[in-house]
Amino acid sequence: MSGAEAPDAVDGRRPLWVVPHEVPAIVPRSSRSTEPRWLGVYRWAAVGGDLLAAMLGVFVALLARFGSGVGSGYLIVSSLLPLAWVAAVALSKGYDPRYFGTGPDEFRSLLRSGVGLTAAVAMASYVTKTEIARGFVVLAIPVMCAAALCLRYALRKDLHRHRVRGRCMHRVLVVGHSVPAATLCEHLESRPTDGFRVVATCRPRTEEVTDGPLHADELDEADILAAADRHAVEVVAISTDPELVGHSLRRLSWALEQRGIELIVSPGIIEVAGPRISVRPVAGLSLLHLERPSVSGGPHLMKAVFDRVMALSMIILLSPLLIGLALAVRLSSPGPVLFRQQRVGRAGSEFTMLKFRSMYADAEQRLGDLYALSDGNGVIFKMRDDPRMTPLGRWIRRFSLDELPQLFNVLRGEMSLVGPRPPLSEEVALYAADDSRRMLVKPGITGLWQVSGRSDLSWDESVRLDLRYVDNWSMTLDLLILWKTVRAVIYGAGAY
């Protein structure tokens, strides 16, 4: 079967083509565990980490609130609180294998658990007329929640390291016609840290039409089940397919449920995040509802307030660094401290973007001689060893310190802390019709492009990331990007 297409016939019916992506591990389903061993290890490690975090929170709260004089009542509460914390995480699906290693879903379950446990303790105290010191609760639960987040993050990173090496993966069978199945395979395998490894694809036999109960291009669940058993898969992924719907898909889900195999269905919608997608029952049907992206209104007013408050706070906090960098730029080479350049902002309005000067004063005049040596992406000019750059400029670009004056652009409302990359007017002139969606929001000092490779990205990748941000914006996404920006700046990946 390796390297060739082999039919997978069941009950004399015309089979699907099954294309193995590796030499199949043929293990009888009756002798296989319904859950891989690494899932159990991860779950128990998560439970142990949550218990450890809860005990740390209780210890810190007792020590800070009571010192050495702890009453017997608080000792009982302190012994029950770690168990209540683990139960709260379990109720919030914090130990659901579907969310292991995914990041946001795991972290949200811990945050929901912290809020839920605080409410439960308050209600229990009210119902039982028990006096529990507010200082104890307010300190214990946030500390345990923060400690649990840190431990779960470390556990997730360890799982990612294993997955990059090809371990702790879910074996996947992709079902569908050639083009959508190939697209789904590409997306599933593009990020190994998500934990999906396609071991086979299962698609209709379209080369010829033979007599029998099946017609050309018609999928049948019995063939899919036979392929799933043969390749010992843990997940069956259905690509967008008009034939495998309705009752056929329902029967397939029942059969896979009996085998302990997870079923996932691709809706064919790309670059749309989960919060914008919801399933709504209408007339007995489960319809996929796609929310419109938020580009104005209350959430963006909150973003504008957050941006200005954070920008002002950072300017005050970093003022010694800003003054020191300004003096260094002035003394390192002749020319102005700040480099000013016209960029295009929201709705096509132009503004003057500020940066610390990192090149010699005649850099713009020398640009024409260097275009042929560009390391950029065909639209944006970039050079890894740009001779126009000063020694100090090379260093401040390495750590993105040259972009700090853009905090004043944020304070003036021209930019945001997080957003698409601010383009030049000549770049905007090359935009396709879809690319102009980037200008529905303010450009940002950082963004998905900043934490995904920066100058190493191709033009198409840069546009795709900016459009993904516009379509899926949320304050949670902004905070996540700000967190990842710190790591990107420290390592300096893609900065030149």
Task: Supply the mean pLDDT for the chain.
Answer: 79
CB 446 within 8 A of CB 482: yes
Q: Please state the rounded mean pLDDT for residues 273-289.
A: 67
- Tell me, what's the pLDDT at 148? 93
Q: Give the residue with greater pLDDT, 42 vs 462.
A: 42
Q: Strand pairing partners for 482?
A: none
Give the model confidence (pLDDT) of 305-354 as tens digits.
999 999 999 999 999 999 999 999 999 888 899 999 999 998 889 999 99
Give the model confidence (pLDDT) of 114-133 as tens digits.
999 989 888 888 887 777 77
Give the model confidence (pLDDT) of 406-462 as tens digits.
999 999 999 999 999 888 888 888 787 777 888 888 999 998 887 876 656 677 777
- Tell me, what's the pLDDT at 29? 47
Give the model confidence (pLDDT) of 412-422 as tens digits.
999 999 999 88
CA distances 12 to 8, 15, 212, 214, Å, are: 10, 8, 9, 11
Q: Give the residue with greater pLDDT, 183 vs 366.
A: 183
5 pLDDT above the threshold of 80: no
310 phi-psi bin (left φ>0, alpha ψ -120 to 50, beta other): alpha
Q: Please state the rounded mean pLDDT for residues 61-76.
A: 75
Q: Please state the rounded mean pLDDT for residues 296-302.
A: 75
Q: Strand pairing partners for 202?
A: 18, 175
Maximum C-alpha span of the chain: 85
* Percentage, residues of the chain above pLDDT 90: 24
Would the CA dihedral through 262, 268, 272, 276 be positive or negative? Answer: negative
Split at pLDDT 50, 70, 90, the class of 137 is confident
Angle in degrees, CA 483, 484, 489, rounded to 5: 105
Q: Return the H-helix or E-strand segment holding 110.
A: helix 104-127
272 pLDDT above the threshold of 70: no
7 pLDDT above the threshold of 90: no
